[in-house]
Amino acid sequence: MSLILLLLSLLSSTTFAGVTIISDLDDTIKITNVANKPRATYNGIFGRRVFAGMPEFFEEAREYASELHVVSASFKIIRPSVTETLEQNGIHPASLTLRNPLRRGGKVSYKIQAISRIIDAGNHDLVLIGDDVDKDPEIFVEVQRRYPGRILASYIHVIRNRPLPAGESLVTYYTAADLALREFLAGRMDLDSTARIFERLVAEESLSQVIPGFAYCPSEGTSWSWQLETIFSEEATLLLEKILQHCTPSPKA
Protein backbone atom coordinates (compact mmCIF):
# COMPACT_ATOMS: atom_id res chain seq x y z
CA MET A 1 0.00 0.00 0.00
CA SER A 2 2.79 2.43 0.88
CA LEU A 3 4.42 1.75 -2.51
CA ILE A 4 1.15 2.54 -4.30
CA LEU A 5 0.77 5.79 -2.36
CA LEU A 6 4.35 6.74 -3.25
CA LEU A 7 3.75 6.06 -6.95
CA LEU A 8 0.53 8.09 -6.89
CA SER A 9 2.36 10.96 -5.21
CA LEU A 10 5.13 10.93 -7.80
CA LEU A 11 2.61 10.75 -10.62
CA SER A 12 0.61 13.70 -9.34
CA SER A 13 3.74 15.81 -8.82
CA THR A 14 4.91 15.22 -12.39
CA THR A 15 1.55 15.88 -14.03
CA PHE A 16 0.57 18.91 -11.95
CA ALA A 17 0.47 22.05 -14.09
CA GLY A 18 2.32 24.83 -12.30
CA VAL A 19 2.19 28.55 -12.98
CA THR A 20 4.18 30.60 -15.46
CA ILE A 21 4.20 34.40 -15.42
CA ILE A 22 4.61 36.23 -18.73
CA SER A 23 5.24 39.94 -18.32
CA ASP A 24 5.66 42.91 -20.59
CA LEU A 25 8.68 45.14 -19.89
CA ASP A 26 8.17 48.84 -20.67
CA ASP A 27 5.72 50.62 -18.35
CA THR A 28 4.96 47.27 -16.74
CA ILE A 29 8.28 46.48 -15.11
CA LYS A 30 10.48 49.32 -16.32
CA ILE A 31 9.62 53.02 -16.09
CA THR A 32 9.88 53.97 -19.77
CA ASN A 33 7.09 56.39 -20.82
CA VAL A 34 6.39 54.58 -24.09
CA ALA A 35 3.82 57.16 -25.21
CA ASN A 36 6.57 59.80 -25.42
CA LYS A 37 8.81 58.47 -28.20
CA PRO A 38 11.93 60.61 -27.54
CA ARG A 39 11.74 59.93 -23.80
CA ALA A 40 11.01 56.25 -24.42
CA THR A 41 14.06 55.96 -26.68
CA TYR A 42 16.29 57.55 -24.07
CA ASN A 43 14.87 55.47 -21.21
CA GLY A 44 15.00 52.32 -23.33
CA ILE A 45 18.74 52.71 -23.78
CA PHE A 46 19.90 54.51 -20.64
CA GLY A 47 17.10 54.14 -18.09
CA ARG A 48 17.40 51.61 -15.29
CA ARG A 49 14.43 52.50 -13.06
CA VAL A 50 11.67 49.98 -12.42
CA PHE A 51 8.36 50.40 -10.67
CA ALA A 52 8.69 50.11 -6.90
CA GLY A 53 7.72 46.68 -5.64
CA MET A 54 7.92 44.83 -8.95
CA PRO A 55 11.24 43.08 -8.18
CA GLU A 56 9.78 42.03 -4.83
CA PHE A 57 6.59 40.85 -6.48
CA PHE A 58 8.46 38.57 -8.88
CA GLU A 59 10.68 37.30 -6.06
CA GLU A 60 7.72 36.45 -3.82
CA ALA A 61 5.83 34.91 -6.75
CA ARG A 62 8.61 32.33 -7.10
CA GLU A 63 6.92 30.48 -4.23
CA TYR A 64 4.20 29.36 -6.66
CA ALA A 65 5.35 30.40 -10.14
CA SER A 66 8.12 28.23 -11.54
CA GLU A 67 8.97 30.55 -14.44
CA LEU A 68 8.99 34.22 -15.36
CA HIS A 69 9.25 35.19 -19.02
CA VAL A 70 9.63 38.79 -20.20
CA VAL A 71 8.26 39.60 -23.66
CA SER A 72 8.89 43.09 -25.01
CA ALA A 73 8.28 44.84 -28.33
CA SER A 74 11.57 46.68 -27.89
CA PHE A 75 14.17 45.83 -30.50
CA LYS A 76 16.92 43.29 -29.90
CA ILE A 77 19.61 45.94 -30.32
CA ILE A 78 18.99 47.15 -26.76
CA ARG A 79 19.19 43.67 -25.20
CA PRO A 80 22.34 44.56 -23.19
CA SER A 81 20.55 47.55 -21.67
CA VAL A 82 17.42 45.52 -20.85
CA THR A 83 19.47 42.69 -19.36
CA GLU A 84 21.44 45.11 -17.21
CA THR A 85 18.25 46.80 -15.99
CA LEU A 86 16.70 43.49 -14.96
CA GLU A 87 19.89 42.25 -13.29
CA GLN A 88 20.47 45.50 -11.41
CA ASN A 89 16.96 45.26 -9.99
CA GLY A 90 17.16 41.59 -9.07
CA ILE A 91 14.75 40.33 -11.72
CA HIS A 92 15.89 37.05 -13.30
CA PRO A 93 13.54 35.82 -16.03
CA ALA A 94 13.83 32.36 -17.54
CA SER A 95 13.73 34.07 -20.94
CA LEU A 96 13.80 37.56 -22.42
CA THR A 97 12.15 37.94 -25.85
CA LEU A 98 12.78 41.10 -27.87
CA ARG A 99 11.61 42.01 -31.37
CA ASN A 100 13.67 41.54 -34.52
CA PRO A 101 13.51 44.87 -36.42
CA LEU A 102 13.97 43.04 -39.74
CA ARG A 103 10.98 40.76 -39.27
CA ARG A 104 7.72 41.74 -40.93
CA GLY A 105 4.57 42.31 -38.95
CA GLY A 106 3.54 44.70 -36.22
CA LYS A 107 3.83 44.62 -32.44
CA VAL A 108 0.51 42.86 -31.93
CA SER A 109 1.23 39.83 -34.11
CA TYR A 110 4.79 39.65 -32.78
CA LYS A 111 3.72 39.58 -29.12
CA ILE A 112 0.87 37.12 -29.69
CA GLN A 113 3.29 34.76 -31.45
CA ALA A 114 5.98 35.20 -28.78
CA ILE A 115 3.56 34.55 -25.92
CA SER A 116 2.03 31.59 -27.77
CA ARG A 117 5.44 29.96 -28.21
CA ILE A 118 6.05 30.14 -24.46
CA ILE A 119 2.61 28.68 -23.70
CA ASP A 120 3.02 25.89 -26.27
CA ALA A 121 6.40 24.93 -24.81
CA GLY A 122 4.91 23.81 -21.48
CA ASN A 123 1.77 22.69 -19.68
CA HIS A 124 1.66 25.43 -17.06
CA ASP A 125 -1.25 27.74 -16.39
CA LEU A 126 -0.47 31.38 -17.11
CA VAL A 127 -0.55 34.76 -15.41
CA LEU A 128 -0.16 37.63 -17.91
CA ILE A 129 1.01 41.11 -16.87
CA GLY A 130 1.03 44.13 -19.18
CA ASP A 131 -0.08 47.76 -19.40
CA ASP A 132 -2.60 49.95 -21.22
CA VAL A 133 -0.15 52.16 -23.14
CA ASP A 134 -0.04 50.07 -26.28
CA LYS A 135 -1.95 46.91 -27.23
CA ASP A 136 -1.40 44.54 -24.31
CA PRO A 137 -5.14 44.44 -23.44
CA GLU A 138 -6.08 43.42 -26.98
CA ILE A 139 -3.17 40.97 -27.14
CA PHE A 140 -4.19 39.34 -23.86
CA VAL A 141 -7.79 38.99 -25.05
CA GLU A 142 -6.58 37.13 -28.13
CA VAL A 143 -4.30 34.90 -26.04
CA GLN A 144 -7.24 34.08 -23.76
CA ARG A 145 -9.28 33.15 -26.83
CA ARG A 146 -6.54 30.87 -28.17
CA TYR A 147 -5.86 29.17 -24.84
CA PRO A 148 -9.20 28.80 -23.02
CA GLY A 149 -8.78 27.61 -19.47
CA ARG A 150 -5.00 28.16 -19.42
CA ILE A 151 -4.95 31.86 -18.44
CA LEU A 152 -5.45 32.28 -14.70
CA ALA A 153 -5.31 36.07 -14.75
CA SER A 154 -4.57 38.93 -17.15
CA TYR A 155 -3.39 42.06 -15.37
CA ILE A 156 -3.19 45.50 -16.97
CA HIS A 157 -1.06 48.23 -15.38
CA VAL A 158 -2.97 51.53 -15.59
CA ILE A 159 -0.78 54.16 -17.24
CA ARG A 160 -3.09 55.93 -19.70
CA ASN A 161 -6.37 54.87 -18.07
CA ARG A 162 -7.79 54.18 -21.50
CA PRO A 163 -10.93 52.11 -22.09
CA LEU A 164 -10.26 48.37 -22.22
CA PRO A 165 -12.04 45.78 -24.39
CA ALA A 166 -15.54 45.47 -22.97
CA GLY A 167 -16.71 42.23 -21.41
CA GLU A 168 -13.24 40.68 -21.20
CA SER A 169 -11.55 39.27 -18.10
CA LEU A 170 -8.84 41.91 -17.74
CA VAL A 171 -7.96 43.14 -14.25
CA THR A 172 -6.44 46.61 -13.85
CA TYR A 173 -3.87 47.55 -11.23
CA TYR A 174 -1.95 50.69 -10.27
CA THR A 175 0.87 49.38 -8.06
CA ALA A 176 2.72 46.18 -7.24
CA ALA A 177 0.72 46.03 -4.01
CA ASP A 178 -2.52 45.87 -6.00
CA LEU A 179 -1.01 43.08 -8.04
CA ALA A 180 0.13 41.13 -4.98
CA LEU A 181 -3.25 41.51 -3.28
CA ARG A 182 -5.07 40.25 -6.38
CA GLU A 183 -2.80 37.21 -6.41
CA PHE A 184 -3.37 36.69 -2.69
CA LEU A 185 -7.15 36.81 -3.14
CA ALA A 186 -6.78 34.31 -6.00
CA GLY A 187 -5.11 31.91 -3.57
CA ARG A 188 -1.67 31.97 -5.16
CA MET A 189 0.47 34.46 -3.23
CA ASP A 190 0.65 33.81 0.51
CA LEU A 191 -0.07 36.19 3.38
CA ASP A 192 3.53 36.95 4.34
CA SER A 193 4.62 37.60 0.76
CA THR A 194 1.74 40.01 0.18
CA ALA A 195 2.52 41.80 3.43
CA ARG A 196 6.16 42.26 2.43
CA ILE A 197 5.18 43.90 -0.85
CA PHE A 198 2.82 46.28 0.93
CA GLU A 199 5.62 47.14 3.35
CA ARG A 200 7.95 47.85 0.44
CA LEU A 201 5.47 50.25 -1.16
CA VAL A 202 4.56 52.01 2.09
CA ALA A 203 8.27 52.55 2.81
CA GLU A 204 8.98 54.00 -0.65
CA GLU A 205 9.99 57.66 -0.31
CA SER A 206 9.90 58.49 -4.02
CA LEU A 207 6.29 58.13 -5.12
CA SER A 208 7.43 58.74 -8.70
CA GLN A 209 8.78 55.19 -8.47
CA VAL A 210 5.24 54.03 -7.72
CA ILE A 211 3.23 56.28 -10.07
CA PRO A 212 5.47 58.38 -12.36
CA GLY A 213 4.47 61.85 -13.50
CA PHE A 214 3.49 60.63 -16.98
CA ALA A 215 1.08 58.01 -15.63
CA TYR A 216 -2.56 58.40 -14.72
CA CYS A 217 -2.68 59.25 -11.04
CA PRO A 218 -6.06 58.83 -9.29
CA SER A 219 -6.76 61.67 -6.87
CA GLU A 220 -9.67 59.91 -5.13
CA GLY A 221 -9.86 56.69 -3.17
CA THR A 222 -12.49 54.72 -5.07
CA SER A 223 -9.83 53.05 -7.22
CA TRP A 224 -8.53 51.36 -4.07
CA SER A 225 -11.78 50.94 -2.10
CA TRP A 226 -11.82 47.19 -2.74
CA GLN A 227 -8.51 46.83 -0.87
CA LEU A 228 -9.96 48.38 2.29
CA GLU A 229 -12.37 45.44 2.59
CA THR A 230 -9.58 42.84 2.77
CA ILE A 231 -7.33 41.59 5.54
CA PHE A 232 -4.78 44.15 4.34
CA SER A 233 -7.03 47.16 5.00
CA GLU A 234 -4.55 48.77 7.41
CA GLU A 235 -1.63 48.48 4.99
CA ALA A 236 -3.82 49.60 2.08
CA THR A 237 -4.94 52.66 4.03
CA LEU A 238 -1.35 53.72 4.71
CA LEU A 239 -0.40 53.30 1.06
CA LEU A 240 -3.56 55.01 -0.13
CA GLU A 241 -2.84 58.08 2.00
CA LYS A 242 0.61 58.43 0.44
CA ILE A 243 -0.69 57.94 -3.10
CA LEU A 244 -3.57 60.39 -2.73
CA GLN A 245 -1.18 63.01 -1.38
CA HIS A 246 1.10 62.34 -4.36
CA CYS A 247 -1.74 62.47 -6.88
CA THR A 248 -3.67 65.45 -5.55
CA PRO A 249 -2.51 68.72 -7.14
CA SER A 250 -1.27 71.33 -4.72
CA PRO A 251 -3.66 74.30 -4.40
CA LYS A 252 -2.49 77.39 -6.24
CA ALA A 253 -1.51 80.34 -4.11
Domain of residue 31, CATH code: 3.40.50.1000
HSE-up (13 A, CA, CB side) for residue 90: 11
Over residues 200-208, the mean pLDDT reads 96
Over residues 170-191, the mean pLDDT reads 97
pLDDT one-digit tens code per residue, 48-94? 999 999 999 999 999 999 999 999 999 999 999 999 999 999 999 99
What total number of domains does the chain contain? 1
Can you point out the beta strands (E) in 50-176?
Answer: 65-75, 95-99, 125-131, 151-157, 171-173
Which pTM was predicted? 0.91
Contact residues for 46 (Cβ-Cβ < 8 A; gap 6+): 81
For residue 164, tell me if it sits in a domain.
yes
**Three-state SS for 242?**
helix
* Whether the predicted pLDDT of 4 surpasses 60: no
Over residues 90-110, the mean pLDDT reads 92
For residue 81, tell me if it sits in a domain.
yes
For residue 39, tell me if it sits in a domain.
yes
**Three-state SS for 132?**
coil
Q: 112 lies in which domain range?
A: 17-247
Contact residues for 212 (Cβ-Cβ < 8 A; gap 6+): 31, 33
For residue 1, tell me if it sits in a domain.
no
* Whether the predicted pLDDT of 7 surpasses 50: no
Report pLDDT for 115. Answer: 98
For residue 2, tell me if it sits in a domain.
no
